Every structure is written in structure tokens, then in C-alpha cells.
A and B are shown apart, each in its own frame.
Chain A
Amino acid sequence: MIAVRFHGRGGQGAKTASRILGTAAFLEGFVAQDSPIYGAERRGAPVAAYTRIAREPIRERGLIVHPDLVVVADASLIPDPAARVLEGIDERTAVFVNSPLTPEQFHAQGSLPGRLTTLDLTDIALQQFGKGGAISALLGVVAGRLVGLRQDSLREAIVRELADLSLAASVIERNQAVAFNCYDAVRPVLVEAVAPQPIPPAQLQRPTYEPPTRGTARISAAANSVLRETGGWRTFRPVLVPDKCNGCWLCFVYCPDGVISMTKDDKPVIDYDHCKGCQICVHECPTDALVAEREKEGGVAWRAK
């Protein structure tokens, strides 16, 4: 069995990518299983999805703790402990990262073990589609290439999964074309099913009674959500072009995370420590006074929190 784990941010298409991979494998006669795990659905929040591919019926379910291939849709997830990207990765795990950085640069940072390959899918999507957005077809096809699936089955899988999301035929075709550029461009690394090592019995904890101040699900720390700096979630940063702003406050109203405040002269100020980069303000601004600029990974502008 090959176990593939996808990590992405809500809205990037990790779940659909896992389905494209599952469907393609299934079309080639394998048994496949795919499933997403997301908490409260929130744009930008870490999402994981799992695809298992085998010749026999699959009994494993849910979490993949020992992946053979990990597909990382957004490098900012790597240092985020909540995303658990590094879990179960060792030097034999194949890892794909959507990033302009090379595997050598990642190795030099010491942040990722494993057989690494990278490609800047976000940039490709930006060049080809003219905007950042879901890169599910690209991720799915890259994963398919790495595990050795055929182009024809991946092509068909994209059609089925994107049609399932009610995308127009022209959009699907465009996604296919761009995805297969990535198919050709990604440098293959060996993906092999690693026989699982026996795991020792879990050390169980016997929780004891605690007073209800601790023993009930209760938050007494006021305003501690500011501690969670979601600025590291951003792939794109909304930037104000002050001359174009008419001071209508729409960005303020639409920002789902309430990170825009307005000055006395009706200009938005964005709290970049917490702006998660969803681009809703960019879409809603009637005068195009907010533009999306790609965060520079590895540069000063990019910092994962």
C-alpha cells in the first residue's frame, strides 16, 4: 500500500487533490481510499487529506501516521505545529513542497527530512491562471506523477473531480493543461511503500479528577486569540493603493477575521500579524484599491508564525 498525505490550507484544494489521486489510481485498477480531515471549515486553516492506494482491500482508515509521500501545498505549514506536517516523516519518505525554494535550500534550513522535490505551483498558477486560488489539479497530478500513475487516468480524474465541483468545461481544460506542465516539470523522487515498523504499546495516562476550573471546556483567558498569529498562513498579502481608495469601508465589513481597522480619514489598516491572506477584501474592494501581492518565501517578507 502507498499512503499519501496532503497538507494544505482551507481553500487551496488539498481535499480535491487527494480525490484526483484516488480516482486516478482507482481508474488504473487499484483499490483506493481518500478522506479529508478539517476541523471547523475555515479559509486558510490547516487541512490534511489522505489517499491510500493498494492492490488489496484497504483496512486502514483516517490519519496516515506513516506516509510514503507527503504533498505540502504551502510551505508555511511546515513549521506550524498544529499542521503536523513533519509527523512520521523520515529519510525514506518522499516529500513534495509547493515552493520556489530548491530541495537543497530546504535541506540547508534543516526543516525537512526525506526525499525532497519542489516546484513553485503557486507561481505557475499565477502565470497561467492570472490569479492565486485552488491548485488542486496541480497538486493531484504532481502526486500522481510521483507515485507513478498514468497521464490518461490523471486526465480523466481531473475531469471527474472538477466537474463534481461544478466547474465549467473550459476551466477544467485549462486546469488539465497547466497540471500536465507540472507533471513534466516536477523532478521525480522515489516513492516506495515502506514496511511499517512495529509500534510499542501506547503509554496510557489515567487522568485524575481536577476542579471544574480545569476539568470543564472553558476559556478564561481574555483575548488570547491574538496569540495565534495567523499572518503566517498567507500566500498572498493584500496591499492598499491609497490613491484608489474611496473610503467605503467594504473591506472592513467583509474581512472574516476582523483584522482591518479604519483610520479617521476612512482608510483601511491591515494587521499583518493576523491577516490570513484570504483575499476576500481584495475581491470586495469596488475600486481595486487592494491588490494581492505574493509573499516572498525565504525572504524577509515571509515569516511563518
Chain B
Amino acid sequence: MAGEMMTGNLAAAWGARLAGVDYIPAFPITPQTEIVEALATWCESGAMAARFVTMDSEHSMMTAAGAAAATGARVFTATSSQGLLYAMEVLYSISGWRAPLVLVNVSRALAAPITLEPDHNDVLAARDSGFLQIHAETCQEVLDSILMAYRIAEDARVMLPVIVNLDGFYLSFTREPVILPAPEQVAQFLPPFRPAHLGFKASAPHALGVAVLGGTPYSYFRHQMHLAAMNALDVHSETAAAFERLFGRRYDVVEGYRLDDAEDVLVMTNAFASRGKVAVDAARAEGRRVGLLRLRMIRPWPADAIRDALRSRRAVAVLDQNLAPGQGGILFQEIAASLYGEPLRPRALCSFIGGLGGKNLSEGEFRAIFDQTAEAGVRGKGIGPILLYTEAEHREMTQLQALAGGLNS
């Protein structure tokens, strides 16, 4: 087996190192800390030429990151969960400056109640910030996506920052074989960053993010960001082709798994999609025609690719590892919106909420999804949102409630 055993966190750090970043403002948070620790070590030892600065908070960290990118530096930083929320205000500014840095988010469910384990409410809270989003399934994909992210972000047709997301624990602390691309090949893939609209030169002053009142310029500039984000779909395909030519690995905006003759399709994102594929194999072994669609790019939203993959299916199940209280699954809404105008849309669209706070998605839960989705397809009527939460788990929950309340269970 080629490569090296490394965690998703270390793979993320390698992505930044191979991308030859200039500047890394950092603030630690579980489960992201190993990324900034590795980068700090490399900057200290001289293995990396970047300037590493520890900031006092994520808000300062993102401000420094955006400001540095606005001077034309290639910038990397990483955070997670509450840290991302604390930096949120700055995300909108950075995308508005069209400063194309790369931010890694290691997903961790949001407080309260507090936990360390993953779900995607953190990263999806940034879905409207103007940052593009790539969600990775494997440690290799984390590294590769960071390299791709810089090339897409820095393309003049895009010039927007990118979040690369990986799941806490299930990728961040999981080691698996990762192939390190050769630095010379990375240099070929990723040209030097020379933005025309950014930079810091005393002889050529300019102001960025200026005040615009009256709404007209605001509308125009915000719409420019939208067009830039939409351009990223094509730029992603070109980038994916170039990446494949050099490194032999291919990543598209969505990934289909055993979709060819699938009548029912499960839609997932991130690391648990690996387990979803195992579940698809198990169901296939019993003669069930199911497949999986993994969304890799969340922003821009790859509506055409999603429609192509889901058209004419009997039923589609969307497994959201997030919960918008009072609404349901976030990706479910977006998938439903994409399919509304599709004449050959699936007969049933089903919404499942699972893996919240890192709760295991068990084989039995996947079976329940496939069963209920098939039934919904036969009936021609969607279901959900259904929480993946078992009777056995509820019994344990009841015991915890009794302990916390001082009652004897």
C-alpha cells in the first residue's frame, strides 16, 4: 500500500504545507488542534516558510487571515464548531473582499448541550457566507481538496474563499493511508497567487470593502459574488481534470456510488458516506437496487449534477447530519428545491436526521432508511423528518434523565 498512515488533521496540515502558504493565523479548538500544532512545528523547524501567528480568538484569527489574503498572501487557517461561529461575521467580509483564502473546518456539533463529536450544523451555518464549501469523505480527500480549493479560489473567474470540511473524530483523529503528492507536481498544479485586485503596494493604494449606500452598488457587488460562486462549478470540473491528470485521483462535485440501476438513492455527505456505501453493498447483496449520492461541493450548490443523479428514481432519502429546529434537515430543503422543477422527479423524497453529535449511524439504521424509503416510493409520498434514534438508545437516555434528575430508574 502506497502512502503514509495519517489522520485527517495531519492530511489537512499537509495540504497547507504543500500549497506553499505564506501565512497561518491560528487558534486551537478540539478537534482541530492537531492541524495547527503540526503547522506550528513545521514553521518553527523551517520545513515550511510560512509565518505562523497564534491569535487571541477565532474572530481575530479570521480577521488576520482575511487581511493577509487582501495583501495578496496565500493564507491558510483552520477552526471548528464554536470557533467558526465566533468568526462568522468576518467570513462575510472576507468573501466580500473576494479574498481567496482556504479555511479548514473540522466539524463538531454546536452547543448547547456541549459536545466534541461531529455533525454539520457548524459548517452549514456558513453556507450563505460567500465561502465555497467542499466536504471530504476520506483523509486523502482532505489533502487533495485543499490543493484543489486553492486553485479554484484563486481563479480569476471565482476569487472567493473556500471552506474544506472534515468530520471531527471520524476523519480528524482517524488514520488511514494517504499519498503525499510530490511538491514539484503540486507546483505544476497550483500556480503562484497573483491576484489583480488584491495586493499591498505603497505606490498603488486602493481601498477594499468600501461603504456603498443606496442599495444599487450593494446589489451589484453581492450579485457578482453569486456569479463568481456559480462559476466555481465549471472551474471545479477543470480543476478536477487537471488534478486527475497529475495525481490520478478524480473528484467531482458529487460522487455517485452504485447508482446505475438504482431505484432508490440515499444522499449523504462527509465521512459517514463511507459507512453508507457499506450499507448500500449489504442491501445490494440482498438484491435491493439502492445507490448512494455523496455531495462533495455544497457551495456552489451543484443543482444540475444532483438533478442528473436523482432524475427518474423511485425514491430518494436525504440523510442530514444536522438539524434546523423548526424546519428539519438543511440539505433536504435544498435537494427538494432542486428537484421541484424537474419533470421526472422521484416519486418520494424522504428526510432523515442522523448522526447528530457524532451518534453512530448503525447498519440497522441504514436498513431502516432503505425500508422506509422503498415503502415511501411505492406509496408515492415522501416522509420525514425522521430522527435516527433507536428504542435501545432511548432506554439509555431515560436512565440518564433519571440520574440527572436524582430519580431512581
Contact = CB atoms under 8 A, between A and B. Distances in A.
Partners in one complex: yes
A35 interface: yes
Interface in A217-231: 217-222, 224, 227
B368 A206 contact: no
Given A26-B177, A204-B386, A205-B389, A60 B275 contact: yes
A62 B370 CA distance: 21
B393 A199 contact: no
B1 A29 contact: yes
Nearest to B406: A221
Contact of A61 (B116, B174, B370): B174
B1 A62 contact: no
A202 B401 contact: no
A59 B277 contact: yes
A39 interface: yes
A268 B392 CA distance: 44
Contacts, number: 118
A201 B391 CA distance: 12
Nearest to B407: A221
Contact of A40 (B116, B173, B360): B116
A224 B392 CA distance: 24
Contacts of A280: none
Residue of A29, A60, A201, A219 with highest tally of chain B CB at under 10 A: A201
Interface string B126-149: 000000000000000000000000
A204 B116 contact: no
A134 interface: no
B5 A32 contact: yes
B254 to A, nearest CB: 18
Contact of B170 (A35, A218, A227): A35
B1 A199 contact: no
A30 B2 CA distance: 10
Interface residues of B, number: 44
A203 B391 contact: yes
Given A30-B1, A204-B390, A58 B176 contact: yes
Residue of A19, A35, A63 with highest tally of chain B CB at under 10 A: A35
A84 to B, nearest CB: 11
A165 to B, nearest CB: 13
Interface string A177-219: 0000000000000000000101111111111000001100111
Contacts of B278: 59-60
Given A26-B1, A198-B282, A205-B389, A61 B274 contact: yes
A1 B113 CA distance: 37
Contact of A33 (B175, B367, B392, B401): B175
Contacts of B401: 214
Nearest to B139: A33
A218 B169 contact: no
B388 to A, nearest CB: 7
Contact of A202 (B116, B277, B282, B362): B362
Given A206-B386, A213-B405, 5 more contacts: A36-B173, A200-B367, A202-B364, A207-B387, A207-B394
Interface of A: 19, 22-23, 26, 29-37, 39-40, 58-63, 65, 196, 198-207, 213-214, 217-222, 224, 227
9 contacts: A33-B174, A35-B173, A59-B277, A200-B364, A201-B364, A201-B370, A217-B112, A217-B113, A221-B405
